Amino acid sequence: MTYDFVVIGAGISGLTTALILARHGRSVALVEKAPEIAPLLRGFSRSGAHFETGFHYAGGLDEEGILTRFFRYLEIADEVETTPFSGSCFDRLRYPGGDEFHFPVGYDALNAALCEAFPAAAGEITAYLDLVQSACSTLPYLNLDADFGALGPFGALQGPTLAEVLTRGISPPALRRLLALHTLLHGVPAAEVPFALHASVVGLYYRSAHGIRGGGKQLAEVLARQLAARGISIFCGSRALALQWDAAGALEGVLTDRHDLLRSRNCVSSLHPRSFLDLVGAAALRPAYRKRLLGLAETCSGYLGFFTARRPVPLLAGSNLYLAGKAEGDARSPGMPMEDRLLYLAGGATDDGSGPHALVAICPADVAETSAWADSRHGGRPGAYRQFKAEMMARMQARIEEEVPELQGALTLRAGATPLTLRHYLGHPGGGLYGVGHRVGQYNPQAATRLPGVFLTGQATAAPGLLGGMLSGFLTCGEILGHDRLRMEVKRCAH
């Protein structure tokens, strides 16, 4: 069989792309090396608890939010039950000593809370939040009425940085640090991330914050059913090895490790850009483009602890907890003790609703911290690495129990991850939490390549997280089907 498109990678970007193309009558083959689709989104289960790895919460899931419209367009909205986070505290920042700031839902409520905490900066706060809303409204697909303009969908993502905007507009250093808290949602420091990108991510959380009942696993199951309904051919447990070309230089198909050639004149890769280079071969792309993709910097990496608690954790019900630490700069500096870094905690769900209470802790890190074992392979790491990992997990647990008395004596570590773990499971060579980051001065790849019939999708082309992954799928399909046409179709999904 010859397919209209082969989509490589069944993460959220690849799934979104495949469903849009199938909706438009294209025959699609979906190739995924993992045993099931959406492995990151699904999370994993251990000791009766289910742990989230790819989804914790999202903005844009309110009634008129852009993620809700994407769900409607893909015809999954009726099967996805969203759960609103606390209106008075969707995110809680706890400082050393116990003082807290609560982020409420809604721009007006957030403005009031910030002005109460920093009354002398009230005018600056209002102006800053106006800038965030304005930046969100200029980006196509986030605003379905916005003009693409001459520079395309991401012309606004080159400067100024978040740090520059905060330095110019916000006087109190403590307030600048508070407003930069959510850089963890995209993994790029305030001094490097374009303000427009940061605003497009955090601005949706300021407007609304939701979870999904059943978490990422439930969303993955809903997407799987929609793939079947659309007649998409799924090849799980199959790794794409290379793109194959005919004698005339046209794409012939995708060769997999099962020695199958999936025939197609069109291919969409959702792989990390470096992995994409391996697919196409050295001669297919110009040296300058290859060099650019090889030079793309990743987001911060991290240490992740997956814990169960022996009692309920009301603190994490409809809310997340950030421990501020003592860091005033880049919280992933290799020389900074874990105890001083930012630490994020999110609740989870049990497999059947009656098991132990799950929570996930994420601490920013630099892949350089595990460079001594960079040449080792998963499953064969040396004893020194295993000892290092155990020590980092023990320090993480000790810090949580010290700074969160509500959890003291209640935690059991079930699994842990380091930058090398992320490198293995996520397929990100630099171990980044979100893969390739978006930085001022760095030109990330666009959906269309110079190779006829070959397109890219994924977080590197758009933004991180569930929204960024889905957005990249729409951007890629907009290149194929026409942006005006696709945006108009999404716009019709208002209700």
Does the pLDDT value for residue 353 go beyond 70? no
The pTM assigned to this predicted structure is: 0.95
**pLDDT for 40:** 95
What whole-number distance in Å separates Cα of residue 112 and Cα of residue 108? 6
**pLDDT for 335:** 73
Q: Which strands make up the sheet holding 454-456, listed edge to edge?
A: 233-236, 28-32, 5-8, 267-269, 454-456
Percent of the chain with pLDDT over 70: 95
Could you give the 3-state DSSP secondary structure of residue 50? strand
β-bridge pairing 5-8 and 267-269: parallel
**Residue listed under structure tokens 């659309």:** 230
Residue among 362, 271, 334 nearest 10 (CA) = 271
Q: Which domains does the chain have, with CATH numbers?
A: 2-80+213-296+438-491 (3.50.50.60), 104-208 (1.10.405), 300-433 (no CATH)
Maximum C-alpha span of the chain: 70
**pLDDT for 151:** 43
Q: How far apart are the first and last CA of the chain?
A: 38
Does the pLDDT value for residue 200 go beyond 60? yes
**pLDDT for 387:** 98
| Residue-wise pLDDT tens digits, 408-423 | 999 999 999 999 999 9
Does the pLDDT value for residue 351 go beyond 60? no
Per residue, what are the HEC states of 90-138? CEEEECCCCCEEEECCCHHHHHHHHHHHCHHHHHHHHHHHHHHHHHHHH
Mean pLDDT of 100-105: 98
| Residue-wise pLDDT tens digits, 203-215 | 999 999 999 999 9
Mean pLDDT of 456-476: 93
**Amino acid letter at 298?**
E
**pLDDT for 355:** 59
CA distances from 29 to 2, 181, 222 (A): 9, 40, 18
| Residue-wise pLDDT tens digits, 49-100 | 999 999 999 999 999 999 999 999 999 999 999 999 999 999 999 999 999 9
To which H or E segment does residue 12 belong?
helix 12-23
| Residue-wise pLDDT tens digits, 320-337 | 999 999 866 555 566 789
